[in-house]
Amino acid sequence: MQNIISDPDQARKHDSGKERKLIGDRGDYFLNRMQGETGVNVSACYQCERCTNACPVSHFMDIKPHQAIRYVQLGWREDLLKSSTIWMCLSCEMCTTYCPNEVDVTEIINHLRNMAAHSSITPKEKSLAVFHQTFLEVLQTSGRVNEFRLMNAYYSKPDILKERVKQGILIEDLLLGMTLLRKGRLKLFTPKSRAIKEIKRVYSQTRGEIV
């Protein structure tokens, strides 16, 4: 267990002066807001770390799942929205499953990710953030996610193509796409979902979020 965030006195010292001033006494406000919007009882967390131990990608995260929950309790919104954690999370729900206090860690991280996507904060994992945004855009135009359209839209975003070339994974992506096409696993067209109106309504509600 990391005392730096479990002990409130140490936690206050850890927080940078500038950020602390910005957040001020809004810690409770952020906690209450998160609990109200997600229905998750974040206050029930007692930092046992079982969520982090169960998480398959926690070692790639700058803020571990149990720490993210502690940050919410402390109102450290900025740190959370700037973290790699919210983009690394696979939404696999292992953390939630293993929590002895039924704290829905996955829901909290999903909510933070949406908050970050609608804020002006520059995401730490830019390409993942762009992918997330593109996924939502494709979803709201047809009510379904067609992988071919999704990848097309993703590669059309500024800098993504250049970045994939730089990382040396463009050829890998193309070969994978061709293999999937050949095996009939990649559809060029997908009909619109009949629930498109409902999906658009839900999407516009989430866009109305004030961060």
**In angstroms, how far is the first alpha carbon of the chain from the final one?**
30
Closest by CA position to 118, among listed 15, 6, 205: 205
Residues 95-124 that bind ligand SF4 (CB under 6 A): 95, 99-101, 103, 105-106, 109
Return the residue of 55, 63, 72, 130 that touches ligand SF4, per CB under 6 A.
55
Closest by CA position to 50, among listed 90, 94, 107: 94
Question: Can you tell me whether residue 36 is helix, strand or coil?
Answer: helix
Residues 178-207 that bind ligand SF4 (CB under 6 A): none
Structure tokens, 156: 């059309």
60 sits near ligand SF4 (criterion: CB under 6 A): no
173 sits near ligand SF4 (criterion: CB under 6 A): no
86 sits near ligand SF4 (criterion: CB under 6 A): no
1 sits near ligand SF4 (criterion: CB under 6 A): no
Q: Which one-letter amino acid corresponds to residue 136? A: L
65 sits near ligand SF4 (criterion: CB under 6 A): yes
Nearer to ligand SF4, 50 or 149 (CB): 50
Return the residue of 34, 72, 89, 117 that touches ligand SF4, per CB under 6 A.
89
C-alpha distances in angstroms, 98 versus 34, 41, 62, 109? Answer: 21, 15, 21, 16
Closest by CA position to 127, among listed 100, 167, 93, 92: 167
Residues near ligand SF4, by CB under 6 A: 45-51, 54-55, 57, 65-66, 69, 89-95, 99-101, 103, 105-106, 109
